[in-house]
Amino acid sequence: MTHFLLLALRSAARHIRPFTAAAFVALAALSGAASAQHAGLRTLVVPGDEPVNVALFYPTARSAGVVQLGPWRPVVSLGAPVSAEPLKGLILVSHGTGGNELAHHNLATRLAAEGYLVAAVRHPGDNWQDRSMITSGRYFGERPRQISRVLDALLASPEWSARIPAGRIGALGHSAGGYTVLALAGAQAEPARAAQHCRGVQDDPGFCALAKGPKAPQPAAAAPAVTAPDGTLVSVPDARIRAVVALAPMAVVFTPDSLKAVSVPVLLRVAEQDAVLTGRYHGGHVAAHLATARAATVPGAGHFAFMAQPSQALPSDAGDAAANPAGFDRVAYHAELESQVVQFFGQQWTR
């Protein structure tokens, strides 16, 4: 059986390292109410000069249980057989800068239980272990290309290619992942806009501090530092992706004209108390120029509100990814967010 390169917490630095699935099977506990479909979990490695690690969540008839994987507690059945029911579609998931493929496990398991194959990517060169791509000058183009590489692999896979319904491919991303999925939808980045922005404003300190580059590998930061010639436009659309969910996206680098030209449906959520990516410059920038986006601001939410709730503190340059603003219940909000995401993608396939 393929080894599961899943994640456990490194106690000294609160980082995550790979283990095999067998090490975690004993930690599984049966979940409460039974349902027709549950979420299975496997891993996939897409080969190449920079191999891409992927967590695959998929529908299964086998009962799922809570599994402790480092700071995450997904409700999954490890290595379970895939349900015989037809897939509703494929959703690709892109985490924020310095993150990992389990950061949005709650959205992934809900989508899987609803009948979707979900491919959550660990971005090479921009994850908790390795952030070398951030200052490489290829950040804005390479991040979306990594998602497209995973899509190529799944569509060529003997196991998955025939099961993925034509035209039913979407993408979901948070923070820098929000940038990534909007770029795949056709928005174009002008990297020089980041430096211009930070020279001209004083009220986006989280983004501008992170844009100087990482102090050390971190589990959950948000904004990239990139060197690129002034005036360079990065265009990396993938026409196979037909719908996008962008959660607190890093978006100040997008040109207004390219946002206006995005034609795929977009669900956009902005955090009211985002201290990492000030909403008016990022999610607000998207909403102002992409008139068709289904945009809303989440009252009381902080930047990390769109990540699954970790079971312990996750400090980073951008703050503790496990912390929530006073009065904000992340777990309760996610029940609402999960339903909105499922409904959004479902509506696209029935139009």
pLDDT by residue for the chain (351 residues), tens only, comes to 333 223 332 322 233 333 333 333 333 333 333 346 999 999 999 999 999 999 999 999 999 999 999 999 999 999 999 999 999 999 999 999 989 999 999 999 999 999 999 999 999 999 988 888 887 888 999 999 999 999 999 999 999 999 999 999 999 999 999 999 999 999 999 999 999 999 988 899 888 887 665 544 343 344 444 445 556 899 999 999 999 999 999 999 999 999 999 999 999 999 999 999 999 999 999 999 999 999 999 999 999 999 999 999 998 878 899 999 999 999 999 999 999 999 999 999 765
Phi and psi at 327, nearest 5°, equal: 85, -5
* Spatial CB neighbours of 181, under 8 Å, sequence gap ≥ 6: 92, 94, 144, 147, 171, 172, 173, 241, 244, 245, 246, 249
**pLDDT at 210 (0 to 100):** 73
**pLDDT at 25 (0 to 100):** 34
**pLDDT at 126 (0 to 100):** 92
**pLDDT at 169 (0 to 100):** 98
Distance CA 209, CA 315 (A): 16
**pLDDT at 2 (0 to 100):** 33
Could you tell me the pTM of the whole model? Answer: 0.87
Query: Could you give all domains of the chain from N- to C-terminal order, each with its CATH number?
Result: 6-349 (3.40.50.1820)
**pLDDT at 136 (0 to 100):** 80
Sheet holding 243-247, edge to edge: 29-30, 65-66, 75-78, 38-46, 52-60, 116-122, 89-94, 169-174, 243-247, 266-271, 294-298
Q: Around Cβ 137, how many Cβ atoms within 10 Å?
A: 15
**pLDDT at 351 (0 to 100):** 57
